[in-house]
Amino acid sequence: MGIKGRITIMNFLQFFIWGAWLITVGVYWFQNKGWSGAEFGAIFSTMGIAALFMPTIAGIIADRYINAEKLYGILHVLGGITLLSVPSINNPGDFFWIILLAMIFYMPTISLGNSISYSALKNNNFGVIKDYPPIRVWGTVGFIVAMWVTNLSGNKDSANQFYIAGFTAIILGLYSFSLPKCPPEGRSAENKSISQMLGLDAFKLFKNYKMALFFLFSMSLGAALQLTNAFGDVFLDDFKHIAEYKDSIVVKYSTLIMSISQMSETLFILAIPFFLKRFGIKKVMLISMFAWVLRFGLFAFGDPGTGLWMIILSGIIYGMAFDFFNISGSLFVETSTDSKIRSSAQGLFMMMTNGFGAILGSVSSGIIIDLYFTTESGKDWQGIWITFAVYSLIIALLFAIFFKHKHNPEEVKNIGH
């Protein structure tokens, strides 16, 4: 099999692991275990906690001590073993720690996977910009397939979802040892200070008002992503408690309905170059923020009956909400920072969105839902989604007013080439 095919398999399995449990763990938590929302919010914060430090540590190890593909494999095997132990956990406290350990092993594999892919493509004379996106899109396909497998096999509220993820992680870990070698570049690392290796130089960007504001909004919007990951499938599954909807397609195949969001993501990636060239970075980020408002608003008023179109449209809008901010935000960092700290600045962007933002969204949403939207009869989902929509609207309006950025066509002239 060719290099591109082997990397495609790696990307597919990488996100299959995540898709097998990430969207359905809420159903398992609430329907199978009956644990609280505040404690569940902490579960989704594990990704943010791990993202704060593990990618950096793994990067330093891969830069100086061990081949990236070997470290990648070791982490996946350890992560797989950890996921296989999840079904034996019978209290929310231990569940938090075991999922945190799984995320400590998993989160750095995302960036390591990118490094392995880039290295293999470059060493075999392929163009990263041209050849990597079609390969990476199979990661999203893997996420979707895993969601379908978990749902169609009847395991969206079962511990079996962790067995599916765990065994897949071990298989990927073993497979990774056959990938092209990606040795450490120790000599270049030796010329860097500890501050540079840890990416701390990028924090000087907070001295710049515009950059500090951008990172603050990145964190605030990063919180929104966790809301639908954490509660989307639980929301759809809860319609089974309403007699007229209990046998609906939405209830039976809630995870499949949620997968529309990931399908949409693959399509909107292709639309980004046009929107960036036409409207510029700030307007595209604003479009993303208002898309989040629509995403939550449609969930608030949708149902499996006459409101089914709202639920489906919400899934379609997700692709715009998620991709537009992440890609345009990354481009803003690329064009607004010095080349010497550009990689660290990109890492800081990811830290603010997937680290601090994820923690903010996960923990605060769980507490708010428990305090204000949970009664003996269940959860007030309309109130929950309206609250999230209002939150996103406030972020969008503040961003439009305070974040100043003039569109420069030169910034995006190479997008899509």
- What is the reported pLDDT for 190? 52
- 347 with 251, same domain? yes
- 258 with 328, same domain? yes
**The two structure tokens encoding residue 397:** 């309006």
Per-residue b or e along 138-150, where b marks 16 or more CB atoms closer than 10 Å to that residue's CB: bbbbbbbbbbebb
- 146 with 238, same domain? no
- Report how many domains make up the chain: 2
Is 15 part of any domain?
Answer: yes
The span from the CA of 323 to the CA of 316, in Å, is: 12
The span from the CA of 42 to the CA of 264, in Å, is: 28
Query: pLDDT per residue over 112-158, tens digit each?
Result: 888 888 788 888 888 766 777 788 889 889 999 999 999 899 898 89
Query: pLDDT per residue over 152-170, tens digit each?
Result: 998 988 999 999 999 999 9
Beta-carbon count within 10 A of 406 CB: 7
Nearest to 73 by CA among 180, 217, 149, 171: 171
Is 191 part of any domain?
Answer: no
What's the pTM?
Answer: 0.76
- 103 with 147, same domain? yes
- 417 with 355, same domain? yes
Is 267 part of any domain?
Answer: yes
Query: pLDDT per residue over 248-277, tens digit each?
Result: 999 989 888 988 988 898 888 778 778 888
Structural domain harbouring 45:
1-181
- 166 with 19, same domain? yes
**The two structure tokens encoding residue 376:** 């003996």
- 231 with 102, same domain? no
Q: Give me the CATH number covering residue 105.
A: 1.20.1250.20
- 176 with 209, same domain? no
Please, which residues have CB within 8 angstroms of residue 295's CB and are 6 or more apart in sequence?
A: 228, 314, 317, 318, 321, 389, 392
How open is the CA angle 401-285-228, to the nearest 5 degrees?
110
- 118 with 230, same domain? no
**The two structure tokens encoding residue 312:** 């489906």
